[in-house]
Amino acid sequence: MKSVFLKFGVTLAVSLGIAATAFAQTQNGAPIPATYIYAGNLIAKAGSPPMPRKTIVVQNGLITEIKDGFVPNTASNVTIIDLRDKTVMPGMIDSHVHLSHERGANSRLYTV
């Protein structure tokens, strides 16, 4: 019986936590600021042809929307990054590193 109450309590706590975040807002109920990136050409997927004239909408550090054309700034909380004459593509990360094989002035001291 104790495990039933424990499961119910955990389920209730998780549900209330999720519900609370659904109604979260910025201070004073202000809208979340956005960044519009005007991309002359957008390469969204490897192997796909570039898509011309796109607006990338970024909110809270995440891309929320990609719109056709260059959407005008209608709100005061929007930052514009104008890359109309550039090609934009996702960031590339070189994750192939050898931290344990770095050579330095004292590298021979660390070998056993």
- Residue 30, domain CATH: 2.30.40.10
**Does 62 map to a domain?**
yes
pLDDT at 26 over 90: no
pTM, whole model, 2 decimals?
0.56
The more confident residue out of 22 and 31 is 31
**Does 28 map to a domain?**
yes
> For residues 87 and 94, what is the distance between their CA atoms, to the nearest angstrom?
20
**Does 19 map to a domain?**
yes
- Kindly report, residue by residue over 61-106, the tens digit of the pLDDT: 899 999 999 988 777 889 999 999 999 988 877 777 766 666 666 6
Q: How confident is the model at residue 14 (pLDDT cuts 50, 70, 90)?
A: low
Q: Residue 75's pLDDT is what?
A: 77
**Which amino acid is it at 19?**
A
Domain membership of residue 54 as a residue range = 2-90
**Does 107 map to a domain?**
no
Looking at the structure of the chain, the number of domains it has is: 1
**Does 105 map to a domain?**
no
**Does 13 map to a domain?**
yes
**Does 83 map to a domain?**
yes
Q: Where are the beta strands (DSSP E) in the chain?
A: 34-42, 51-59, 62-68, 78-88
**Does 99 map to a domain?**
no
Phi, psi of 95 (to 5 degrees): -90, 5
Phi, psi of 94 (to 5 degrees): -90, 100
